[in-house]
Amino acid sequence: MPVATGPAGPDGAPPTGGGRPSVTVTGDERHAVVGVWTPPKVELGDPGERAAWYGRASGALEAGHLFEDATAAVPIYLALLEADPGDRVAQRGLQRARGKVVAEARTALRGSGEDASGLPRAEQLAAVARALAPDDPRVQQLQRDVEAARRLAALDRAGEDDLRAGRLGEQGNGALAYFRDALALQPDDARALQGRAAVESAAIDRAEQAVAGLDFATAEQWLGHAQAVREDEAGAVRDARQRLDAARNARILALRDIALRDLARGGEGLRDARTRLADILQIAPAGDQVAAQLRQRIDLATHYGVFGPGQVFTDALAEGSRGPQMVVVPHGAFRMGALDSEPGAADAEKPAHYVRFERGFAMSLTEVTVAEFGRYVAQAGARPRATRRGNSIVYDERSGNFARRSGADWRSGYDGRPAAPNDPVLHVSVRDAEAYAAWLSAQTGRHYRLPSEAEFEYALRAGNPGRFPWGDNAIPPDGSGNFAGGNDVSPSGRTWNNAFVGFGDGYWGPAPTGRFEPNAWGLHDLAGNVSEWVADCWHASYRRAPADGAAWFNPGCRSRVVRGGVWSGSPAQTRSAWRSPMDSDMTSARIGFRLVRGI
């Protein structure tokens, strides 16, 4: 990072204070089992009203209003006991309330398999119970059960994700392994049982696809995988084996028509259509026009779905507005990372390796703006990390350094002052970015997410293999982006050290989104303006990195990756291969994000 000339100054101290009741975690969050509940403050007022407070607490308790705000039973009983520790009425009431908290947590846990809100509710209640009686064996057991439910839900989610991705577990991992681990924890887990049955059905489906293609050896292999799911030949597998034998004499003259119907279904149908084409090619003469036309239609659907490369579009949001502008990035391959001979390259950027994208994807034309993020905050009632924490890291013009400042959050600019609607949103953590993507997905019915590190570098280079996004020239072209240049001047007259000599873009701090020329694929500000969160966890090198462009993610990792040049970045940080680790809770004036969407 370049350093602005001038004296250094101290960081600002984070604020302290109360606020609304909340459930948070403290200390090292990686090892936290359950949240910490902070009771809302209750103002009792006149001691003569104590009897009335008894009534309010009892009524709240009977109504099941246990802990949520200052009118709930537990906070009132705690306030009464704080005023008079010997108050036996409050002691008995609090004991009853604690019993209800534990009982309701148990009920929420039992229903968490059918109700997605059950586990979060149980976690909240467990946090309250822990605050009231951390040494109570029932409370400690509740905490252990909540953690076990978390593990079970994580295994089920992982299995379902692999199942949706087509990773059934035929090689000993994938969906089946996750569901088996879940059933080892809880043999009657409905989600895992359903998932295991879905793996079996998917394996049977693949066997039947092979039958339809007259590839009976492959069909037998898939039926073997289906049989291994339950370690015996279930009825569905026996029925499939009979259909396989009967299908050996089936006609294949209608394969083209079946493939066309498959294509019309989209999604899984595309995979089926490829299978049909392979079958046609096995029996069709060379140069057959039916096969050639079907291949062309499948190729377009494979790489771009209903879109075309370079197409710009937006999705409608359920609340009536439109999502961010997206551009379709072409499919292809590139060399990711830095060569050993590249000046300024770090070991973390090596080894250079080839990555191939079999399908195009859509990426935001610009970083997500303050206005776009604000729409999410308003609609979802979100409280991003810096808002909850009450501070973020901003640029301090007086000292020329970056310092933590109270009150700075997503509404703030790089210097802590209010940001403009079209500025890139800053002071967001990677989890804030992922929450925005999840909200946008729910609003549009499409899958939005952070780009993988490979997708980001692929789009940043836009076909240019040079050291910098614009090539190997040591000075950026005019209008190419917002970078730290020797000609840039801060509001008080500061200049950058270790910047692009002789370059200036007119901005000290981030520029409004889309202010500079797009790259060859129509994307703005990937090379500069602000660095951006990507989906990957930090790895110290690219050894064993995915070759298909997928995010390299390890569940539970705390160190994530930021990519792309920044308004305050040195020339070395502006290189196409530059990458840096960042704590997932970090918020600052240097980091924003953009999204990708599957097509």
Query: Does position 368 have pLDDT exceeding 80, yes or no?
Result: yes
Secondary structure (3-state) at 229: helix
Q: What is the DSSP string of 522-543?
A: S--SSSSSSEEEEEEEP-SS-T
What's the confidence (pLDDT) of residue 232? Answer: 60
Residue 541 sits in the same domain as residue 572 = yes
Bridge-based pairing of strands 591-592 and 531-537 is: parallel
Asked if the structure places residue 148 within a domain, the reply is no
> Binning pLDDT at 50, 70 and 90, where does residue 31 land?
very low
Separation CA 241–CA 223 (nearest Å): 7
Residue scoring higher pLDDT (345 or 14):
345
CATH code of the domain covering residue 592: 3.90.1580.10
The total of structural domains in the chain comes to 3
Given its phi and psi angles, is residue 352 left (phi above 0), alpha (psi -120 to 50 degrees) or beta? beta
Separation CA 575–CA 458 (nearest Å): 13
Domain boundaries, position 225: 164-302
Separation CA 512–CA 535 (nearest Å): 24
Asked if the structure places residue 141 within a domain, the reply is no
Residue 537 sits in the same domain as residue 574 = yes
Residue spans of beta strands (DSSP E) within 407-542: 448-449, 531-537
What's the confidence (pLDDT) of residue 250? Answer: 42
Structure tokens at 560: 């994530």
Q: Please enumerate in sequence order all residues whose Cβ is within 8 A of that of 534, keeping only pairs 6 or more positions apart, or say none.
A: 450, 451, 452, 453, 455, 456, 551, 560, 561, 562, 563
Residue 188 sits in the same domain as residue 67 = no
Asked if the structure places residue 433 within a domain, the reply is yes
**Packing angle between helix 88-110 and helix 50-62, nearest 10 degrees?**
20
Name the domain boundary from 302, 329, 344. 302
Separation CA 200–CA 232 (nearest Å): 12
Residue 311 sits in the same domain as residue 436 = yes
Task: Judge if pTM exceeds 0.95.
Answer: no
Residue 221 sits in the same domain as residue 338 = no
* Among 100, 5, 164, CA closest to 498: 5
Residue 60 sits in the same domain as residue 89 = yes
Query: Does position 196 have pLDDT exceeding 90, yes or no?
Result: no
* Among 564, 570, 534, 545, CA closest to 348: 545
Whole-angstrom Cα Rg for the chain: 29
Residue 255 sits in the same domain as residue 356 = no
Residue scoring higher pLDDT (447 or 94):
447
The DSSP 8-state label assigned to residue 362 in this structure reads E
**CA distances to 65, 254, 323, 503 from 516, in Å:** 54, 54, 21, 14
Residue 85 sits in the same domain as residue 181 = no
Residue 460 sits in the same domain as residue 345 = yes
What's the confidence (pLDDT) of residue 561? Answer: 98
Q: Please enumerate in sequence order all residues whose Cβ is within 8 A of that of 113, keeping only pairs 6 or more positions apart, or say none.
A: 189, 190, 191
Asked if 577 contacts 564 with a C-beta cutoff of 8 angstroms, the reply is no
Asked if the structure places residue 393 within a domain, the reply is no
CA dihedral 506, 509, 511, 517 (to 10 degrees): 60
Structure tokens at 296: 């062309």
Separation CA 95–CA 97 (nearest Å): 5
Asked if the structure places residue 401 within a domain, the reply is no
The DSSP 8-state label assigned to residue 347 in this structure reads G
Name the domain boundary from 90, 115, 134. 134
* Among 328, 313, 561, CA closest to 450: 561
Query: Does position 431 have pLDDT exceeding 90, yes or no?
Result: yes
Give the Cβ contact number of residue 301 at 10 Å.
Answer: 19
Q: Which residues of 253-277 are buried (b: 16+ CB within 10 A; e: fewer)?
A: eebbebbeebbeeeeebbebbbbbb
Query: Does position 359 have pLDDT exceeding 50, yes or no?
Result: yes
Query: Does position 24 have pLDDT exceeding 50, yes or no?
Result: no
- Which span out of 34-38, 160-164, 244-248, 402-406 was modeled with the highest average pLDDT? 402-406
Residue scoring higher pLDDT (482 or 188):
482
The tens digit of pLDDT for each residue in 220-229 reads 778 777 877 8
| Segment 412-431 mean pLDDT | 98
Residue 261 sits in the same domain as residue 312 = no
Name the domain boundary from 302, 329, 355. 302
- Indicate the average pLDDT of the chain: 86
What's the confidence (pLDDT) of residue 23? Answer: 44
Asked if the structure places residue 412 within a domain, the reply is no
Residue 312 sits in the same domain as residue 259 = no
Residue scoring higher pLDDT (412 or 22):
412
What's the confidence (pLDDT) of residue 139? Answer: 86
| Segment 254-263 mean pLDDT | 84
Structure tokens at 550: 């997928």
Residue 343 sits in the same domain as residue 197 = no
**CA distances to 22, 60, 73, 89 from 69, in Å:** 9, 11, 9, 21
The tens digit of pLDDT for each residue in 111-130 reads 766 677 778 888 888 889 89
What's the confidence (pLDDT) of residue 92? Answer: 92
Asked if the structure places residue 77 within a domain, the reply is yes
Asked if the structure places residue 250 within a domain, the reply is yes
| Segment 522-541 mean pLDDT | 97
Separation CA 430–CA 563 (nearest Å): 12
